[in-house]
Structure 1
Amino acid sequence: MGRKVTLATCSLNQWALDFEGNLERILKSIEIAKTNGAKYRLGPELEICGYGCADHFYESDTLLHSFQVLKKLLESPITKDIICDVGMPIMHHNVRYNCRVLFLNRKILLIRPKMLMANHGIYREVRWFSPWNQLRKVEEYFLPRMIQEVTGQNTVPIGDCVLSTKDTCIGTEICAELWNPRSPHIEMGLDGVEIFTNSSASHHELRKADQRVNLIKSATSKSGGIYLYANQRGCDGDRVYYDGCAMVAINGDIVAQGAQFSLNDVEVIMATADLEDVRSYRGELCQPHMQSETKPCHRVKVDFSLSTGDDLYLPTHQPITWHFHTPEEEISLGPACWLWDYLRRSGQAGFLLPLSGGVDSSSTACIVHSMCVLLCQTVQDGNKQVLEDIRRVVGDDSYCPQHAKELCGRIFTTCYMASENSSEDTRNRAKDLANQIGSTHMSINIDMAVEGILGIFSAVTGRWPQFRANGGSHRENLALQNVQARVRMVLAYLFAQLSLWARGKPGGLLVLGSANVDESLTGYFTKYDCSSADINPIGGISKTDLKSFLLYCVEQFQLTALRGILAAPPTAELEPLTDGQVSQTDEVDMGMTYSELSVIGRLRKISKCGPFSMFCKLIHMWKDALSPTEVAQKVKHFFRMYSVNRHKMTTVTPSYHAESYSPDDNRFDLRPFLYNTRWSWQFRCIDNQVCQMPANASEQ
């Protein structure tokens, strides 16, 4: 009957500027799609060069090598008899565009530039690309000679156009265009386009996946149609993790779903859909509106069918229910996949973590353990690439991991760095957790190093600083805490470089950090202390979410040592003990709780609040617990801490981006690091407002 179409979309773990690897993964996805009967294959955004090239997009080399890869694709027999939709940067009339290139049987059919750019949050696309803002306009693009030699074409269409096959019409959206209030699929659908494709590089954030799914369902429930979504997967060289979720939807229903977190470099999602279902759906709901007020889409015709002549007995995919991960599962899986990509691509032999026995470092340890669990499962599922990568990391060509705990011992080293201010409780908690996850664990005493550094200072100045508990000033007390923290950083890197050498093994270790997003927000850490690491998997995750994650790990991985860690108050253990017990706690030092910090962080970044507008919101949010005067004190205290410590963000360890209120300097949070810390005008506005409020305002 010729009305059923089999389509393929995919998630690929592309790596910025890895043209050879990217080519191999693209070809593999096309081969899988063809083998399963697909006539159309969609890939992620900028898949040829990698999405995260950043300022490398300025380089002519990036454009040149992208065309060289395109040439290889055009010439490959694998791409025969299937419409291939690939992403790459293209310069047209001396302007760079983020494009889709559609080709079939060594002929380029069309080039579709991105029209609506992502330029918020972590995205800076207009730094490198211009939007194609000529609605419904198509021009001639003159192909490079190397492509002309393959295709026999001098020019091809470039612009806002769609592809018209013998049996249907296909229109393109690129990533952010789906999220825009003027999404192209709206006008395309009203002009009769039946299949929409979206190639994305959409990153993972906690609790974000449902937005993506709901947008795609909504796009096809309003005006009918088939929607293919492809996405990048993995760490392509920066702080973000692209979380896959390739999918196919029809008329408001998801009919095929890919994994959100996976160690498979290539995942192809197939779906067979009936074009008559789209036509019937539109016939009832949309027909009176199927008249576009704007100029009709420019159609590029191709003598090719997506359907076959005899498809009566070809089954179509039926609606499925999307499974969303809980935030705890997302923390367990997302940073774990990101860590693995970083480790296998960095050429290092494992990780080293200063394990303090607190919530933060324990969370980092549990993420590494989760990574090992995921690796073992993937190897058992027959993934040869992952096994090959593991063998290269551990330096053993015959090694095959049998259990996560055993693998953890091979690639993960933890160390407890004790001082005279450390308690036996934290030492034991760290040791117990290390035993349960299987890491190679060391206990190190740093007192000798601290004494040596203070001795140098004393020899020069003739003075010996004292802790506050021993009569010292605030400045002395802070300096003594900082020297302990910085000694731990130096020792962490020393042991990361030489601990495997000391055991007669090759390679070095990556140092892992474990400062959470709330501590970064207030600067509650020592600059260049053991939070200064190579990478930090929890730097974009709140303390509240980390506690929930550890509870999840108790049940999921049977890590019972975490119960004691969760029960203990968070402490840096940098001041003297009182009767053998910890007297210093994080929340007392910070002057606010971690849960309060999470609220403040979201107001500061997501709601874009300065001191006064934050106060105005919090007097209502916290009215049951705090008076307006107390709220004012909290707000002013936060902004003082934030502005005094903002300079620390210029040196913060590259962290997994998991929260949209991350304070990561110059990447996501573009704010100054030198402030007038008095905030005199802003704080006076708050004080005036407090004075104008009735005395019983907090009781209303």
Structure 2
Amino acid sequence: MGRKVTLATCSLNQWALDFEGNLERILKSIEIAKAHGAKYRLGPELEICGYGCADHFYESDTLLHSFQVLRKLLESPVTQDIICDVGMPIMHHNVRYNCRILFLNRKILLIRPKMQMANDGNYREMRWFSPWNQLRQVEEYFLPRMIQEVTGQDTVPFGDCVLSTKDTCIGTEMCAELWKPRSPHIQMGLDGVEIFTNSSASHHELRKADQRVNLVKSATTKSGGIYLYANQRGCDGDRVYYDGCAMVAINGDIVAQGEQFSLNDVEVITATLDLEDVRSYRGENCQPNMESEPKTCHRVKVDFSLSSGDDIYLPTHQPVTWNYHTPEEEISLGPACWLWDYLRRSGQAGFLLPLSGGVDSSSTACIVHSMCVLLCQAIEDGSEYHSLCLNVGKQSSFSPQDCNTAQLIIITLF
């Protein structure tokens, strides 16, 4: 029997309350994942409604429209024959939770609420959501009728549980849970979970990518396993910039790296890995120290395999060296990506850049120039940003040959 699995994770540029656009980008990411042979697709945190909905999370319409998008995902032929892991808010027993929903072939497998919240710095999750604090406990969640009509299910498991396929076991973390002292992957790994996933909305901060990589590598170095990390991209509805950095790791090594600063709305990275590598690693390095969990994970069984019997010659991804940006590059690229994202979301014609000759205006001009360099590179690579730039600029003949031309048009002609 085969033991090689192909997994996909992604960075999506989701917009707060842009339900139609968010659905389109989710479906596109699933389509790309399937085209690369993936049997599991992971997306960023709250990708259906957008992470930055703020007090709109209080509104019942936000929950309603999220379920309408979920129904369309369940009905779509694109989502067939692949386990899809999507994020949205859900109210259970009149309490609002930040959740992951795992589904396969028009059936919801489980709903996993976030257990440890991000509630410092730029984050105020406790304002809108409650943490699920019932360790290892699972309840029944009664699905709304619009979902029952598609799935034929009245209830689904809701709580701290993991997914057990015919060939492996998958456990979920969400964003801040990776950063906390009692990360769920610790207990899950001790209980035999082999694949860990993390859906994040982690904003850009200087040198923060180093911390993410170190945390993911550490999580799989201690007790082995495969780790998928997905992240939001763009400025969503907030004033911060989410910088992607999707990655896949195994046994302490990064094997696939997504871009940190990119103008692409949808980026999917896939990796083919051997489950036997996880089992061999644990048998050699962790067996003497493995302990039995006093209360095991609740396993939701699904009659589905991530691997196949004819994968013996399928090449696996090998460790790569993470390509870190220098601090100077981060300072240049992060604000530049935010400027472009803000410009096209706001629908404004361009930027007014008064130049006094001081350090502030000079620095701003450099960042705008960096934005134009990224935009011209995206156009040169054949992405959709040429048409987007035309819409922003209102210039039917706009076709920049270099970043200086683009900067002149974006700043002065609007």
Scaled to the shorter chain, the TM-score interval is over 0.9
1:42 is matched with 42
Matched residue SS, 1:354 = coil
Higher helix share: 1
Letter in 1 for 2:388: D
Matched residue SS, 1:280 = helix
Give distance in 2, aligned partners of 1:337 and 1:237: 15
1:405 is matched with 404
1:316 is matched with 316
Letter in 1 for 2:61: D
Give distance in 2, aligned partners of 1:158 and 1:373: 46
Matched residue SS, 1:351 = coil
1:332 is matched with 332
Mapping for residues 135-534 of structure 1, pairs under 5 Å: 135-384=135-384, 386-413=385-412, 500=414
**Aligned-residue CA RMSD (Å):** 0.9
Q: Residue deviations 1:251-272, cap 9 Å, x none?
A: 0000000000000000001000
Gaps of 5+ in 1: 414-439, 441-499, 501-700
1:207: Cα distance to partner? 1.6
1:291: Cα distance to partner? 2.8
Give distance in 2, aligned partners of 1:135 and 1:76: 34
Give distance in 2, aligned partners of 1:85 and 1:398: 42
* TM-score relative to the length of structure 2: 0.99
Letter in 2 for 1:213: V
1:398: Cα distance to partner? 4.5
Q: Residues 187 and 292 of structure 1 are in contact (CA less than 8 Å); yes or no, is this contact kept in structure 2?
A: no
Give distance in 2, aligned partners of 1:387 and 1:104: 36
Q: Residues 191 and 293 of structure 2 are in contact (CA less than 8 Å); yes or no, is this contact kept in structure 1?
A: no
Q: Residue deviations 1:571-594, cap 9 Å, x none?
A: xxxxxxxxxxxxxxxxxxxxxxxx
Mapping for residues 72-111 of structure 1, pairs under 5 Å: 72-111=72-111
Matched residue SS, 1:328 = helix
Higher strand share: 2
For the pair 1:4 / 2:27, whether they are aligned, the reply is: no
Q: Residues 45 and 174 of structure 2 are in contact (CA less than 8 Å); yes or no, is this contact kept in structure 1?
A: yes
> How many pairs were matched up?
414
Q: Residues 190 and 293 of structure 2 are in contact (CA less than 8 Å); yes or no, is this contact kept in structure 1?
A: no
Q: Residues 90 and 97 of structure 1 are in contact (CA less than 8 Å); yes or no, is this contact kept in structure 2?
A: yes
Q: Which has the higher contact order (CA 8 A, sep 6+)?
A: 2
Letter in 2 for 1:329: E
1:125 is matched with 125
Give distance in 2, aligned partners of 1:207 and 1:54: 26
1:51 is matched with 51
Mapping for residues 610-649 of structure 1, pairs under 5 Å: none
Q: Residue deviations 1:414-436, cap 9 Å, x none?
A: xxxxxxxxxxxxxxxxxxxxxxx
2:13 is matched with 13
Give distance in 2, aligned partners of 1:302 and 1:364: 53
2:62 is matched with 62
Q: Rg bigger for which structure?
A: 1
Give distance in 2, aligned partners of 1:299 and 1:375: 46
Give distance in 1, aligned partners of 2:399 and 2:67: 39
Give distance in 2, aligned partners of 1:237 and 1:360: 26
1:349: Cα distance to partner? 1.0
Letter in 2 for 1:399: F
Letter in 1 for 2:12: L
Q: Residues 13 and 236 of structure 1 are in contact (CA less than 8 Å); yes or no, is this contact kept in structure 2?
A: yes
Q: Residues 84 and 104 of structure 1 are in contact (CA less than 8 Å); yes or no, is this contact kept in structure 2?
A: yes
Matched residue SS, 2:52 = helix
1:318: Cα distance to partner? 0.3
Give distance in 1, aligned partners of 2:287 and 2:34: 35
Give distance in 1, aligned partners of 2:110 and 2:289: 28
Give distance in 2, aligned partners of 1:29 and 1:45: 14
* TM-score relative to the length of structure 1: 0.59
Matched residue SS, 1:227 = strand
- Percent identity between the aligned chains? 86
Q: Residue deviations 1:213-242, cap 9 Å, x none?
A: 000000000000000000000110221000
Q: Residue deviations 1:243-291, cap 9 Å, x none?
A: 0000000000000000000000000010000000000000011123333
Letter in 2 for 1:218: S
Give distance in 1, aligned partners of 2:204 and 2:10: 17
Give distance in 1, aligned partners of 2:156 and 2:172: 17
Q: Residues 191 and 290 of structure 1 are in contact (CA less than 8 Å); yes or no, is this contact kept in structure 2?
A: no
Give distance in 2, aligned partners of 1:12 and 1:401: 26
Q: Residues 192 and 290 of structure 1 are in contact (CA less than 8 Å); yes or no, is this contact kept in structure 2?
A: no
Letter in 2 for 1:370: S
Give distance in 2, aligned partners of 1:302 and 1:332: 46
Q: Residue deviations 1:333-373, cap 9 Å, x none?
A: 11111000110111111100121101111000110111011
Give distance in 2, aligned partners of 1:317 and 1:119: 36
2:112 is matched with 112
Change (3 A) 1:398 1:302: farther
Give distance in 2, aligned partners of 1:2 and 1:290: 26
Give distance in 2, aligned partners of 1:194 and 1:141: 26
Letter in 2 for 1:373: V
Give distance in 1, aligned partners of 2:292 and 2:21: 43
Q: Residue deviations 1:1-38, cap 9 Å, x none?
A: 31000000000000111111100000000000001100
Q: Residues 335 and 367 of structure 2 are in contact (CA less than 8 Å); yes or no, is this contact kept in structure 1?
A: yes
